[in-house]
């Protein structure tokens, strides 16, 4: 089973690697001894995130989540970086593929499946719904100093 590799860490940052996307299927998410999800890796603990959870998942040809799920308070953004599939939200099914991005509010039922002839790879970002404010959009600051490599 593939493991997350720590690349660098400091008091205010963490850098990790999950490896090549083509090898994502070597990760296995262990939810319990009975429930194991091959090709899925969560990064929040490894990165020490405090405002979101991030996961990568690879669905093999013909693969799917195998269940529908909802959330109590978390919204999710799904970013598809490879492959072709279908996404389902509250019974409505629509096509997705490389470059597709889907946002789902907490309550709707959701599921994903691969209908292509290569792995379907997605990144999922999970965060508390209604937590981003207009002030957050202007939080970044460009500093007046040169970049030194």
CATH code, domain with 22: 2.60.120.10
The number of folded domains in the chain is: 1
Whether residue 25 is contained in a domain is answered as yes
Residue that has been written with the tokens 């860490």 in this structure = 9
Whether residue 135 is contained in a domain is answered as no
pTM score: 0.92
Q: What is the per-residue DSSP string for 81-101?
A: EESEEEEEETTEEEEEETT-E
Report residue 18 as tokens: 């999950």
Residuewise pLDDT in 10s, the chain (149 residues): 899 999 999 999 999 999 999 999 999 998 888 888 899 999 999 999 999 999 999 999 999 998 999 999 999 999 999 999 999 999 999 999 999 999 999 999 999 999 999 999 999 999 999 999 989 889 999 999 999 99
Whether residue 139 is contained in a domain is answered as no
Query: What's the domain range around 111?
Result: 5-129
Whether residue 109 is contained in a domain is answered as yes
């Amino acid at each position: 089973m593939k493991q997350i590799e720590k690349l660098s860490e400091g008091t205010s940052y963490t850098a990790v690697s999950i490896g090549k996307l083509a090898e994502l299927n070597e990760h296995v998410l262990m939810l319990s001894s009975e429930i194991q999800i091959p090709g899925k890796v969560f990064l929040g603990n490894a990165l020490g995130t405090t405002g979101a959870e991030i996961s990568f998942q690879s669905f093999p040809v013909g693969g799917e989540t195998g269940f529908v799920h909802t959330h109590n308070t978390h919204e999710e953004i799904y970013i598809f970086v490879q492959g072709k599939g279908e996404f389902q939200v509250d019974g409505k099914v629509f096509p997705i593929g490389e470059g597709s991005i889907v946002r789902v509010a907490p309550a709707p039922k959701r599921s994903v499946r691969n209908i292509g002839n290569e792995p379907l790879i997605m990144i999922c970002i999970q965060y508390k719904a209604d937590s981003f404010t207009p002030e957050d959009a202007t939080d970044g600051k460009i500093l007046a100093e040169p970049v030194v490599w």
